[in-house]
Amino acid sequence: MSESNYIKIYTGDILVVQQIVSELEKHDIIPVVRDETDSGLLPIFGSSNTLLQKVSVHKDELDKALKAIESIISEPQE
């Protein structure tokens, strides 16, 4: 099994993820965003309340990325 070159820096609400992606792109960091919503339950329950996404960055850009989004992830979310 190979080691991933990407490290997760945030998992959460889609709106916060959009802020994070925008801030990372300002610093020339291209994140990888994955949908973590369990869409397999949609036919059973009709809709999902949890629209979660996972943001990862290349391990070489980890420190730069964390500094770039520090104010976003440290703010209390409403």
CA distances from 37 to 22, 30, 31, 64 (A): 21, 22, 18, 28
Q: Where are the domains of the chain?
A: 6-70
Q: Please tell me the pTM assigned to this model.
A: 0.76
CATH 3.30.70, domain 6-70, yes or no: yes
- Quick: pLDDT tens for 2-48: 468 999 999 998 999 999 999 999 999 999 999 876 555 555 555 55
- Quick: pLDDT tens for 48-70: 555 789 999 999 999 999 999 99
Question: What is the model's pLDDT at position 1?
Answer: 40
SS3 10: strand
